[in-house]
Amino acid sequence: MNNKIGFTEVLNTSQKELDQLLEEGRSLSWNNFGRTLKVYYPSKKFPSISVTGASCALNCLHCNKHYLKNMHQINSADDLVNFAIKLEKNQGKGILLSGGYDEESIVPLEPYLDTISRIKSETNLKINVHPGLVSSKQAQALANAGVDAVSFDLITDDEVISKVIKNDKRGKDYIDSFKSLVNAGLHVVPHICLGLHFGEEKGNLDALETALKYEIPLIVFLGLIPTKGTIMENSKIINKDFLTRLILYTRLRKPALEQSLGCMRVRQIDYEQAAILAGINRVAVPKKKSIDFAERKFGLVVEQIETCCSI
């Protein structure tokens, strides 16, 4: 195993050499996590909640508030408590607590911190938060509230932030927030959206290299979805070969780091199978043919879990 291998080496290797490295990558994955593929189906048992309704102060080119419309909308702390209690009675597993950003690229979760603590003490629900940028104080407050996981969109390229997210932040702001969350002792799961820059690879490797500098339990790879009604609706999507090689490179660099193919991506079988070939550990909402592929080709045991893949 060569954890000093560079991405350029993985990217430019021949198909024969790549096949050998993929076999090594799968072996490293199975040695660390077993011959199991975890597949995640959040659905109604792990709903996504927006604390801002369909509102967001930003107009990110890839989203433009589109995905907030599909979330359950909470308007107060009492609403959240009542929703959580009802969810547990209906055999729910947990919630993703998210929402739109304010002008500082923060999801306003602070009014709900006491409520999160109450839910954690009165129910068995898991709580994953998507906080946006945070200060050290805010990160510690999330830790004190007892959240189970933090899904953090890690973007480190200044140009990608400027052109796509369109706020006044820089990569350093995202890195500082990420560092604060890790230092607070939280279960921080960096999410890297491949192709965020109009379907191009720009910034993806740098974000990954940043994540790999920290002791994290899991990393989630997403992919740009060319969404109707956004400026990016006609953008290309990331090449599946790039996805394969990025997962492989991550495995060779950090064999004991669990990897997931998250739900925010174009749902294509070839993407899912490319990830499985590279030894991915988790896949959110996969196609049945991808599950069959994992079982048939590699004899993997498929474990179905009704939460989001960051838990």
Amino acid 64: pLDDT: 86
Amino acid 2: pLDDT: 61
Q: For the chain, give every domain's residue range.
A: 7-305
Q: How many CB atoms lie within 10 A of CB 222?
A: 20
Amino acid 59: pLDDT: 86
Angstrom distance (rounded) from CA 247 to CA 168: 31
How far is residue 211 CA from its own chain's centroid? 12
Domain 7-305 in CATH 3.20.20.70? The answer is yes
CB 181 within 8 A of CB 215: no
Helix, strand counts (H, E) of the chain: 11, 11
pLDDT digits (tens, 9 = 90+) for 264-294: 999 999 999 999 999 999 999 999 999 999 9
Angstrom distance (rounded) from CA 273 to CA 22: 13
Identify the segments of the chain with pLDDT beneath 50.
none
pLDDT digits (tens, 9 = 90+) for 14-67: 999 999 999 999 999 999 999 999 999 998 999 999 999 999 999 899 998 989
Amino acid 216: pLDDT: 96
Amino acid 193: pLDDT: 98
Amino acid 1: pLDDT: 54
Amino acid 84: pLDDT: 98
- CA torsion sign for 175, 179, 180, 186 is positive
Please enumerate, as own/partner, the contacts of 229-236 that have beta carbons within 8 Å and a separation of 24 or more. 229/64, 229/66, 230/61, 230/62, 230/63, 230/64, 230/66, 231/61, 231/64, 232/61, 232/62, 232/198, 232/199, 235/195, 235/198, 235/199, 236/195, 236/198, 236/199, 236/200
